[in-house]
Amino acid sequence: MINIETLKDILNDEKLQYKIENGDVIFGTSGNKMEFNLFNIKIIIYEDFQQNIPYLLFKHIAMYDYNLDIKTDFLEFIDDDKGTVFEYINNNIDGRTFFSKIKKFKINYVKNNALFVIDNKNYGVEDFVKILNFDPKISDFIKDKLRESKTGFYLENANQRKIFEFLFPRYKNEIIKLMYGLNDDEIKKLKGGPLEIMNMAADIKNRKNVENKIVKPWSENSGFLIGLITEYFSHGEEAGIVYGQRGSVDSPIKRGYTLHFFLFLERMRGGVSLTVRKNLES
């Protein structure tokens, strides 16, 4: 047996930075942590502490059994990899490498055993999809495809991105149809990653919704005005101004439509914006 004073002498002799809180000896300050008991003293080591504490202690303390019962708090419901723990105790790897290998081992365990983990908590697929707050139009579809995949997911926070990245290569068309009501020809034109594709699909849906509420053009100039209104309500003021400027370069009538449309909007909001006026008149 050793007491805290003996341990402090060893640590000071090794010139190690540490602190003592409630009788526990703590190394490092941030990241995940491991802990083990050295006789009756709890040792806590954080991820940012690189030096190999067990090795340094064993230089000073002869123990009949040095297979320390190390526990980490990363995905603590999964047992730590015994091989990595053995490497660490035998000074084959430092602290940061130990945590890196433990994390990789546990994340692979999550994937291979079809677990659904957010932060440090394991969920069933129903709660997993609910917490990620998917659009109700596709939540049942997502659940079914996750079950069928027999693949697990580890997410640091409740973010849908990894799920869409996993599903899109195979189920892009189904997801876009369910969420935005586009047809196959419209979906073929969508390029990029899942987020880009969904943004473009949302724009197409918004444009179609606006167009369905606007009368059909009866002349070239009326077509321009309808396009201007559609662009404004689909993509916002800046996009509408750009549309108006480009389309009215050689047409006083179209230029007048653009100017009066935006001046009308400004008056409806309680005043005329000088910025809008300057942009349009330029």
Closest alpha carbon to 36 in 6, 68, 7, 67: 68
Confidence class for position 11, pLDDT limits 50, 70, 90 = very high
CA distance 116 to 108: 12
What is the radius of gyration, based on Cα positions, of the chain? 31
**Per mean pLDDT, which range of 97-101, 117-121, 267-271 is the poorest?**
267-271
Order of strands across the sheet that contains 71-72: 19-21, 24-27, 41-46, 33-38, 71-72
Determine the average pLDDT of the residues in 135-159. Answer: 95
**pLDDT value at position 211?**
65
* pLDDT more than 90, % of the chain: 54
- Which residue has better confidence, 66 or 185? 185
Is the pTM higher than 0.75? The answer reads no
- Which residue has better confidence, 282 or 17? 17
Question: Which alpha helices (DSSP H) does the chain contain, by range?
Answer: 4-13, 53-58, 82-89, 95-112, 125-132, 136-149, 161-180, 184-188, 194-212, 220-235, 237-247, 252-268, 274-281
**pLDDT value at position 272?**
47
CA distance 254 to 58: 84
CA distance 123 to 114: 11
Average pLDDT across the chain, whole number: 86
CA distance 15 to 122: 40
Confidence class for position 99, pLDDT limits 50, 70, 90 = very high
Greatest CA separation for the chain: 96
Query: What is the residue whose two structure tokens read 């149809």?
Result: 177
Determine the average pLDDT of the residues in 71-86. Answer: 95
CB 248 within 8 A of CB 255: yes
pLDDT exceeds cutoff 50 at 167: yes
Q: Which two tokens stand for residue 64?
A: 């009949």
pLDDT digits (tens, 9 = 90+) for 195-250: 999 988 988 887 777 666 666 767 777 778 777 777 777 777 777 777 777 777 67
* pLDDT more than 70, % of the chain: 90
Query: What is the residue whose two structure tokens read 């040792």?
Result: 43
pLDDT exceeds cutoff 70 at 271: no
**pLDDT value at position 130?**
95
3-state secondary structure of 35: strand
HSE-CB at 166 with a 13 A cutoff on CA atoms is 17
Handedness of CA 74, 75, 81, 82 (dihedral sign): positive
Closest alpha carbon to 223 in 203, 201, 196, 248: 248
Confidence class for position 170, pLDDT limits 50, 70, 90 = very high
**pLDDT value at position 253?**
79
